[in-house]
Structure 1
Amino acid sequence: MLRILTILLAFSVCTAGSVTAQDTQNLGPVTNLPIPRFVSMKASEANIRRGPGLTHRIDWVFQHRNMPLRITAEFSNWRRVEDIDGVGGWVHYSLLSGSRTVIVKPDLLSMRANASEGARENARIEGGAIARLMECAPDWCRISADGYRGWVPKDTIWGVAQDEIRE
């Protein structure tokens, strides 16, 4: 039985990625890039398979371009990925992008003018929205969505490692 997974998200944008010092300890055997690491979906639809190859059964179809995913393994041209809910499987690498996006976890999250809880609010962003990841400090990340930019606490978004710093 094929299950179709459609995630409706309010915003959709992308940007380039980065690597944390801790991630460099576990490198993928194919790409020599950190495992785990975050990427985004390049395609608007991707078959998620039980194993790394076209002969393996399709368990899911992810249907949202720019959705952030975590790569947890590599084999040849295949990457094992998971979404915010831990759902996943194997996908061909050509359907993925190194551009970085995040999903907003709480509803109506305040985007701040700087990395401080007392900073002026630039906008509010809906829970489930996809935003472009711009930079991250130890506890805050700067994101961009629907023409607005601002800082949000790192623990309120999914698609970035808690120890990740981006400039």
Structure 2
Amino acid sequence: MRVRLWAIISIITLGLVATSLGEAWAQQRKPPYYASIAASKARMRTGPGRNYPASWLYQRADLPVKVVEVYNDWRKIEDPDGTQGWMQVQLMSSQRTGYVVGGIVELRDAPRLNGRVNWRAAPGVVGRISRCERGWCWFDVRGRAGYVEQNRIWGTEPGEELP
């Protein structure tokens, strides 16, 4: 009985550690790379430390950001508007998201211009990106998803392919 309980506790602990290590590993990539804001409220600071003043307060979880520099547990990020500053890595996620730029985008059932339009998204809408290939990305906005032309969302490099 004790051995079985110990085994269950060990498996759960290892799973939590593996998840944390996976997230930490993803946040240790060499910049530049894209990530997203995980917290519902996150402060951007003028330097890599809490002693630096906050320059922005983001209140939008899943907003994509581009990591341009790494310093210990701090990341210098750039938001979709081009604003740069420092954010604690704990406030960020490796989840890839996109931000609609330009005009209204059409989310299609297939990665081609003549694909059926499933949904439309206005500029500024944020969605999750799960894969990109040949100039198209699968874009999911709270369960309403479809293929979007890659150049219509901010959160990927031009021509970048995601599995």
TM-score using structure 2 length: 0.80
Deviations 1:57-110 (A, max 9, x none): 211111211111100000011000110111120111100000111011133311
Q: Within 5 Å, give how 1:92-131 maps onto structure 2.
A: 92-131=88-127
Per mean C-alpha deviation after superposition, the further-off stretch among 84-93 and 54-63 is: 54-63
Q: CA deviation at 1:126?
A: 1.5
Q: Within 5 Å, give how 1:7-156 maps onto structure 2.
A: 31=28, 33-156=29-152
Name segments (4+ residues, structure 1) moved above 3 Å. none
Q: Which has the larger radius of gyration?
A: 2
Q: Any stretches of 5+ residues in structure 1 without a counterpart?
A: 1-29
Identity rate, percent:
30
Provide the C-alpha distance between the structure 2 equivalents of 1:116 and 1:81, rounded to a whole number of angstroms. Answer: 32
Q: Any stretches of 5+ residues in structure 2 without a counterpart?
A: 1-26
Greater relative contact order, per chain length (Cα 8 Å cut-off, separation 6+): 1
Provide the C-alpha distance between the structure 2 equivalents of 1:124 and 1:146, rounded to a whole number of angstroms. Answer: 13
Provide the C-alpha distance between the structure 1 equivalents of 2:99 and 2:50, rounded to a whole number of angstroms. Answer: 29
Provide the C-alpha distance between the structure 2 equivalents of 1:47 and 1:166, rounded to a whole number of angstroms. Answer: 29
Per mean C-alpha deviation after superposition, the further-off stretch among 92-101 and 50-59 is: 50-59
Q: Secondary structure of the equivalent of 1:70?
A: strand
**Paired positions, count:** 137
Provide the C-alpha distance between the structure 2 equivalents of 1:146 and 1:72, rounded to a whole number of angstroms. Answer: 28
Do the aligned residues in 2 keep the contact of 1:108 with 1:125 (CA within 8 Å)? yes
AA matched with 1:160: T
Q: Secondary structure of the equivalent of 2:68?
A: strand
Q: CA deviation at 1:138?
A: 2.6
Aligned-pair Cα RMSD in Å: 1.4
AA matched with 1:107: G
